[in-house]
Amino acid sequence: MAREVDLISYLPSVLEEIKELVEIANVENPIINALWKEIENALNNQFVLTVNEDKNGATRYEKMLELKIPATDTIETRRFRILTRYQEQVPYSYKVLKQLLNSLLGENHYDLERNVAEKWLDVKIELTVKGQFDTVQLLLERITPQNMLLTVGLRYNQHIFFTKYTHGQMRSLTHDLLRSEVLN
């Protein structure tokens, strides 16, 4: 949040009663506050986690990284896409891939299986990151070796998750909804 500046508070108490100085301070306050806001925006736009949506923020990163962003994306999704692109690292090892997925999705928010002999890699992303599925899939396609079969899917709700609900609470929900939607 931008700092609120009141120039009169910086004056000695003797000068606070002079009308000309009070008027000058009242005219300059909005200018100084706008300047503080621009300084804060410039600082926030230096870091992907605090970047905003303006032309010097997320849009600049997306242009530099040549990202195609749908107009419906939220700023959080846009930040996630930018972070994902910056975290690409080729060639990768299994350990680095796990660290990358942990940093992007969080620990235990995905299942990762591989078979080196048969050359396949299977990644199941937890349902809570369903909106970021395409971004993670694109990342994995870019960094996994081309001679490995890559399968990326969603990790659906499991029966154990529903033990806290009664049958009456779940009666109005369809099987498909129970399986593939995030429930509170």
Report residue 69's pLDDT band, with 50, 70 and 90 as the boundaries: confident
Query: How many domains in the chain?
Result: 2
Residue 76 lies in a domain: no
Do 37 and 98 sit in the same domain of this protein? no
Placement of tokens 């990202």 in the chain: 67
Average pLDDT along the chain: 82
Residue 61 lies in a domain: no
Do 39 and 107 sit in the same domain of this protein? no
Residue 116 lies in a domain: yes
Residue 152 lies in a domain: yes
Q: Which domain holds residue 109?
A: 87-180
> How far apart (Å, rounded) are the C-alpha atoms in residues 65 and 145?
22
- Amino acid code (one letter) for 95: K
Residue 108 lies in a domain: yes
Residue 129 lies in a domain: yes
Residue 34 lies in a domain: yes
Task: Identify the pLDDT of residue 157.
Answer: 61
Residue 148 lies in a domain: yes
> Residue 118's closest CA among 144, 92, 148, 146?
148
Do 92 and 174 sit in the same domain of this protein? yes
Do 33 and 100 sit in the same domain of this protein? no
pLDDT in tens, 163-175: 677 767 767 666 5
pLDDT in tens, 106-128: 888 888 999 989 999 999 887 66
Q: For the stretch 125-160, what's the b/e string if a residue is b when 16 or more beta carbons lie within 10 angstroms of its beta carbon?
A: bbbebeebeebbbbbbeebbeeeeebebeebebeee
Do 22 and 100 sit in the same domain of this protein? no
